[in-house]
A and B are shown apart, each in its own frame.
Chain A
Amino acid sequence: MKAKKILIFLLILLLILITLLGSNSVNSLDNLAYVVAIGFDIKDNGKLELSFQIALPSGSEGSSGSTSSQSSDSIVTSVECNTFESGVNLVNSYLSKELNLSHCKAIVFSEEIAFQGIGEYLYTLINHVEIRPTCNVIISKCNAKYFLNNSSPLLEQLSSKYYKIASTSEKVTGYTYNITLLDFFSDFADSFTECFATLGSVNDGGSDNRDSSISANGTDDSYVASETPIDAQKNIENLGLAVFKGDKLVGELNGLECIAHLILTNELDNAVISVPSPFESTNYIDLYITDSKCKTKVYLSNGTPYIKPDIDLSCRIISMSDDYKDLTEENILLIEEYTKYYIERFIYDYLYKTAKVFKSDITAFGKYAVSNFSTLNEWDEYNWLDNYQNSFFNVDINIDIISRYLLIDT
């Protein structure tokens, strides 16, 4: 009897669900177009131009197999519109399929739009149900549409995989930092840090007009995106960081400054830096930073922040143009001293740039400062982000060089 009763209820339930199915526009996964990346541009007339890179999953046509190595596994569609959602709708009406943003891997803002401020788009994006908060935010030095159009992967089949893997390369170089939408938004909303994003551009691959005078101090790590002298196919390149104040772009950091940023934020995994040789002025010593620790203390004296980062680095010499015999203890100490001076200099450069030029605390020193306050109201009154530009810095660096060579004596 009980079972009968429950069965009746279950049937009612099923009926409700089936009626729901009728009203539910069930989109099976093949009715959707999967967006790999979204680009935000601003037109001259002040209108927003949205670009969508849409993946074309290669169907196994007959028995030809899936190894058709076409370069275009994706298409880029762009639309001029007023808001993000209306742009999506316009594209939907143009395409036969509905756009699905749940597999979006990268969000690209062009420099122009970033200068004007991207706050409104950020709120739309973070509140969007489909967009995952882990997708990357890239500020493109060129047009975002151009950026997406040229994002054809060199070594990959799928452009989505390319974005995923490209974003991990920072772990090896340290020349840029992988910023997810969540990080970006959280930094944007936070009261003790400013936001920053990956800087990207299209590298023309050594084709024509490259301004060769950019590399000021002549090392390989002073480039920003699109400037690297690579001779290859035209492709996108992520190098350096874009610095924001509020929701507006205020400047960019090159590879070396990015390393400084990573050292100070404790995010550096590995990096290679070229230090001028103490023995011969034209030569360089390549150091591989294997371990970096930074302890920061922030004191407030009369309302002025006094920031004292304490950096501990372990490096390894990986190449050196001089003879290896010279690696005596004194020489190593000399190299250490030299490196220390070198790193100290570029860290001070970085700090000066952020504090005085950009006036933007992207290093999040604010979070160390916040422990000086006991309630939130005091902190809000102090207004750290505006006070950061008055900061004093005192960087303390400790370097350990472990040289490990295959050959010692030649």
Chain B
Amino acid sequence: MNNSKIGFVESVSIAIIVMISHILLNLPNEILSSTASAGPLNVIYITILATIIFLFFNKLFSPFKGKDILDVAEFVGGSILKKIISIIYTLYFIFVAGILILNFSNTLKTIYLPDMPTELLCLVFILIALIANQYGFKNVSRTNAIVLPFIIVTIIIIFFSLSVHFVPERFFPVLGYGTNNTFVLGITNIFAFGEILLLFLIRSNYKEPKESKKIGLTSIIFSGLILFLSVTALLLIFPFATGGEGVLSIYMITRSIQFGKFFQRVDALFILIWVLVFFAYLSVVLAFAIKITNKNTKTPTSNIPAFLICIGIFIVTLIPQNIAQIRFVENVIYKYACLIIVFGMSFIILLLGYLKKNKKSLIEGKF
């Protein structure tokens, strides 16, 4: 397993790609529909919050050098807890991957492949992720890191080429639906930073375990910035009445990009990049699911878990019946699953682990 050590850039890019792929679907929309014109403010707020939470988690992690959250779970509750936790995480990843694939396949179908069956499109995505995972975790993360700069550049291009259409007055009224909605109910928007979970899981893969704090902060701040840019772009260009409606919000705004009178409708080029992002994202999620399962079942050389997980993802993509259900699953179920699993369960495990470790060292100190 020596060759699955990854460096700083790869780790950061894994975390950011998660954020970006959610942004491309409808994360900014989700935030805007609950906060309206206070969206950017809310983003800044949850970014700061996420940073604080991460620092706190990092503190809890401090006694466990070079270990990931599964190791902590094993330390707390033995192999049974570890198994339960890892099954929950695997199911979470399967669920997330399935929903995202389904959503993106539907998007592609709407945009330019009207005759393609969604199931087959999903299958194509899963196959690609499976192929990518034949190359191992390290190469998946490296590819991820190569794709990332392109997508960041496209988001910046989208932001600046649309800035001619911006109406800065749309920032007003500053508080949107009021302070309560922005700062109290708005906390739930922290699910946008579900990527923190991945950071807990790759801790054991860091080349330099000391860098974990740096990696976490960089990825949270970076993805907060990207989220801010896209939420702002979406808010300033569209009246907020329509902002909440479109599923393909970012795609909608790219349609109005034009470079001079000659180059119009360049949105297809962005799709090319987004396809890459989704492949990268899916392979990362699959890689994580495989990593957890392999660690759990102690079958590091077998491919069978990968097949099973892929089948699981495919089954998830078949469940929702229509677009309303997909949106419900993505906006509501995903949101709360993410909040519970990432910020709730992980927190409890870490806290218990920290306390147990401290108690142990206290007792040892006494004798």
Contacts and interface: CB of A to CB of B under 8 A. Distances in A.
User: Are A and B subunits of one complex?
Assistant: yes
Given A16-B123, A132-B265, A186 B238 contact: yes
Interface stretch (B12-20, B173-181, B280-288): B173-181
A97 to B, nearest CB: 17
B214 interface: no
A376 B131 contact: no
A134 B258 contact: yes
Given A23-B115, A186-B239, A367-B169, A129 B110 contact: yes
B242 interface: yes
A251 B169 CA distance: 27
Contacts of A13: 124, 127-128, 131
B367 interface: no
A379 B242 contact: no
B172 A371 contact: yes
A148 to B, nearest CB: 21
Contact of B120 (A20, A133, A180, A191): A20
Interface in A12-54: 12-13, 16-17, 19-20, 23-25
Which interface class (under 10, 10 to 19, 20 to 34, 35 or more) fits B?
Answer: 35 or more
B264 A16 contact: no
B127 A9 contact: yes
Nearest to A366: B169
A25 B36 CA distance: 41
Interface string B154-172: 0000000000010101101
A373 interface: yes
B175 A24 contact: no
Given A24-B115, A133-B256, A182 B36 contact: no
Contact of A374 (B130, B173, B264): B173
Nearest to B237: A186
B241 interface: yes
A186 B167 CA distance: 11
Interface string A353-376: 000000000000001101101111
B149 interface: no
Given A182-B256, A377-B177, A19 B120 contact: yes
A253 B154 CA distance: 40
B124 A375 contact: no
A361 to B, nearest CB: 13
Given A129-B110, A189-B239, A25 B115 contact: yes
Contacts of A373: 172-173
Given A191-B241, A367-B169, A367-B170, A23 B116 contact: yes
Interface residues of A, number: 40
A377 B182 CA distance: 13
A315 B70 CA distance: 73
A129 B238 CA distance: 18
A24 B113 contact: yes
Nearest to A7: B131
Contact of A375 (B131, B134, B173, B265): B173
Contacts of B219: none
B117 interface: yes
B261 A16 contact: no
A6 interface: yes
Contact of A189 (B124, B169, B242): B242
B111 interface: yes
A378 interface: yes
A75 interface: no
B255 interface: yes
Given A16-B123, A376-B37, A376-B177, A370 B113 contact: no
Interface string A94-107: 00000000100000
Nearest to B35: A376
Contacts of B172: 367, 370-371, 373
Given A9-B127, A182-B256, A186-B239, A129 B111 contact: yes
Interface string B97-133: 0000000000000111101110010011001101100
Contacts of B265: 102, 132, 134
A164 interface: yes
Contacts of B169: 192, 367-368, 370-371
A118 B242 CA distance: 17
A400 B222 CA distance: 48
Contacts of A374: 173-175
B62 to A, nearest CB: 39
Contact of B116 (A20, A132, A191, A378): A20
B131 A6 contact: yes
B178 A375 contact: yes
A253 to B, nearest CB: 22
A306 B337 CA distance: 50
Nearest to B131: A9
A404 interface: no
A164 B134 CA distance: 51
Contacts of A23: 115-117
Nearest to B123: A16
A228 B332 CA distance: 59
A191 B239 contact: yes
A189 B170 CA distance: 13
A241 to B, nearest CB: 19
Contact of A134 (B131, B167, B242, B264): B264
B134 A12 contact: no
A328 to B, nearest CB: 43
A376 B130 contact: no
A117 B115 CA distance: 34
Contacts of B36: 376
A56 B128 CA distance: 42
14 contacts: A6-B135, A16-B124, A24-B115, A132-B264, A186-B239, A189-B239, A190-B241, A192-B169, A375-B173, A375-B177, A376-B176, A376-B178, A377-B178, A378-B173
Given A6-B134, A378-B173, 17 more contacts: A2-B135, A6-B131, A9-B130, A9-B134, A10-B131, A13-B124, A16-B123, A23-B115, A129-B111, A129-B112, A182-B256, A370-B172, A370-B173, A371-B172, A374-B174, A376-B240, A377-B178
Q: What are the 6 A-B residue pairs with the smallest beta carbon separation, nearest first?
A: A367-B169, A190-B239, A370-B172, A371-B172, A189-B239, A133-B256
Interface of A: 2, 5-6, 9-10, 12-13, 16-17, 19-20, 23-25, 102, 129, 132-134, 164, 168, 180, 182, 185-186, 189-192, 367-368, 370-371, 373-379
